[in-house]
Amino acid sequence: MKFIHSPLHSLHDGGKELHRGELVPCYEMPARVDYILSAIARAGWVVEAPGDYDDALLERVHDADYIAFLRGAHEAWRAEGRDGFMLPGAFPARGMRRDRVPAGLHARLGYYAFDAGSPIVEGTWRAARASAHCALAAADAVLAGERGAYALCRPPGHHAGHAMFGGYCFLNNAALAAQRLRDGGLERVAVLDVDYHHGNGTQDIFWERDDVLCMSIHGDPDTEYPFYLGYADERGAGAGEGFNQNYPLPRGTDWAAYAATLDRVLERLAAYAPQALVVSLGVDVFEGDPISQFRLGSDDFPRLGQRIAALGLPTVLVQEGGYAVAEIGDNVAGVLSAFA
């Protein structure tokens, strides 16, 4: 088992999110990583840094102009004489033009964003890039024969689509790992997203593909973020029809109800006979999470890990959400202990 982490994550800091009408410090904060690293150290596991990867690899799952926008956004912001974090205030909603990318910086910001909760600061691009590198390095470890590899990614990735950011996510780390496994010669890869929030970005990226099965268990979007995707009738299109599967569950779901759905999901996942698995590992299903509404206890995370490990697949685990900061380390380590 390998554990991959980059200290560059801390460059993504200092932004605020629009939360219920107020600008508040982001729930997705650097301290999350400190708690995970402490728990990893307590378990006696050793963390490695990823190597560097060419930006062209990011275009395996993301739009080239979107990548160029992320890379240059804050520099352009500063060139306009501004400072601090960037948040969009207008979006191309229904009936508006989405077929052309506007020229102005603020216009492009809203074009590529889908919420006002994902601030871009000066270090966001470098942190997001390093986070993606962690996922790529974890995929490479699995391609080299490791049974499991954990990428301590921050910022997270599963809300980032082919050409959009939001939900604290800029580059889709799990999708990049899955694509890396495909490019490394594996024919079928499955992505299992257990974060509390629907992995809309991963769904977007693999929507028309049958070589990457996407399964997500999450809070019902009728009431939970990201609201406008994640319903059970979204099943993929074209060649990808049937290769996207969503399992929304109600607020208040506890381990007993969660495990019943998880067992069905794992059975279907195994039937696809993937050659490797990518887990979008959000631990915001925890009962103490400040922005989520499931009721899994800390004791349930080893159970989750055991069930995933029992698939017997080479597995890349990619860190996504988890905002109960003091407990995030133990909850993540609880899952990882089943693999390590």
Q: Which of 5, 74, 133, 159 is catalytic?
A: 159
195 binds Zn ion (CB under 5 A): yes
196 binds Zn ion (CB under 5 A): yes
Q: Where are the beta strands (DSSP E) in the chain?
A: 2-4, 16-19, 22-25, 47-48, 148-151, 189-193, 212-219, 244-249, 276-281, 315-319
Give the one residue of 50, 117, 166, 321 binding Zn ion; rule: CB under 5 A. 321
Q: What is the size of the binding site for Zn ion (CB under 5 A)?
A: 6
Q: State the Cα–Cα distance between residues 278 and 149, nearest whole angstrom.
A: 10
Question: What single string gives the DSSP state of each residue in 263-294?
Answer: HHHHHHHHHT--SEEEEEE--TTBTT-TT---
Q: What phi and psi values does residue 260 have, to the nearest 5 degrees?
A: -65, -45
Query: Which of 50, 117 has the CB closer to ligand OKP?
Result: 117
Chain positions 83 to 122 lying near ligand OKP, rule: CB under 6 A, are: 115, 117
- Tracing tokens 């890039």 back to the chain, one arrives at 129
Query: Which of 157, 314 has the CB closer to ligand OKP?
Result: 157
Q: State the Cα–Cα distance between residues 151 and 4, nearest whole angstrom.
A: 5
230 binds ligand OKP (CB under 6 A): no
284 binds Zn ion (CB under 5 A): yes
Q: What is the DSSP letter of 193?
A: E
Binding partner selected for residue 235 from ligand OKP, Zn ion, none, CB under the kind-specific 5 to 8 Å limit? none
159 is catalytic: yes
Amino acid at 195: D
Q: What is the size of the binding site for ligand OKP (CB under 6 A)?
A: 17
Give the one residue of 3, 12, 17, 313 binding ligand OKP; rule: CB under 6 A. 17
**Angle between helix 300-309 and helix 325-336 axes, rounded to 10 deg:** 30
320 binds ligand OKP (CB under 6 A): yes
Binding mask 254-283 for ligand OKP (x = CB under 6 A): ----------------------------x-
Q: What phi and psi values does residue 81 have, to the nearest 5 degrees?
A: 85, 10
284 binds ligand OKP (CB under 6 A): yes
Helix (H, G, I), strand (E, B) or coil at 247: strand
- Tracing tokens 């490797």 back to the chain, one arrives at 276
Minimum gap (Å) between residue 58 Cβ and Zn ion: 22
Binding partner selected for residue 265 from ligand OKP, Zn ion, none, CB under the kind-specific 5 to 8 Å limit? none
Contact between 316 and 336 (Cβ < 8 Å): no
- Tracing tokens 């205030």 back to the chain, one arrives at 89
Pick the piece of the chain touching Zn ion (CB under 5 A) from 74-82, 173-181, 241-249, 315-323: 315-323
* Residue-level length of the chain: 340
Chain positions 154 to 183 lying near ligand OKP, rule: CB under 6 A, are: 156, 159, 167-168
Pick the piece of the chain touching ligand OKP (CB under 6 A) from 17-25, 46-54, 254-262, 304-312: 17-25
Question: Which is nearest to 177 in space by CA: 212, 204, 209, 203?
Answer: 212
Binding partner selected for residue 19 from ligand OKP, Zn ion, none, CB under the kind-specific 5 to 8 Å limit? ligand OKP
Q: Which residues bind ligand OKP (CB under 6 A)?
A: 17-19, 115, 117, 156, 159, 167-168, 195, 197, 225, 282, 284, 291, 320-321
Q: Which residues bind Zn ion (CB under 5 A)?
A: 195-197, 282, 284, 321
Active site residues: 159
